[in-house]
Amino acid sequence: MKVKIKRLDPNAVIPKYSKPGDAGMDLTAIYKVWDDQNEVVVFGTGIAVEIPEGYVGLIFPRSSQFRTGLTLSNHVGVIDSGYRGEIKFMFYPGSRPKKNFKVGDRIGQLIVIPYPNVEFEEVVELSSSERGESGFGSSGK
């Protein structure tokens, strides 16, 4: 599958898979700024992508992010097919950052997946299931 990508900055790094079989392509920070208004640290990648219609780009922090004490502000970023702006990450600083990301670090990953076009059908009753209406933590420890 080909996805169009544009460097918005000459220092931008084109995302790539780190190892064969990886689902996510690594995204690299090319700048870092503090946003006083939202109290978040913003990392820019300097790239924009054109996700094909019928697909979505999802951005996640890398698993090594736990070492930083940072939390991705929206938990999972959604890049819809109509978005053409820069891919950015906004992290809450946390109370005890251990090791912060630096410019040049791989800060997240991008996964591009297809999605169905869902149309809801309102009904009076749903079919029964083994789980039923049991919610948070009900499927085991």
CA distance to 75, 91, 92, per residue, from 70 (Å)? 11, 6, 6
Joined tokens for residue 27: 């995204």
Contacts 24+ apart (CB under 8 A), 127-130: none
What pLDDT was estimated at residue 31?
95
- What's the pTM value of the predicted model, to 2 decimals? 0.81
Helix (H, G, I), strand (E, B), or coil: what is residue 50? strand
pLDDT along the chain (141 residues), means of 10: 96 96 95 87 95 96 73 85 95 68 87 95 90 65 59
Q: What is the Cα Rg of the chain in Å?
A: 18
Q: What are the structural domains, with CATH classification, of the chain? A: 4-114 (2.70.40.10)
Answer yes or no: are the C-beta atoms of 103 and 32 closer than 8 Å. Answer: yes
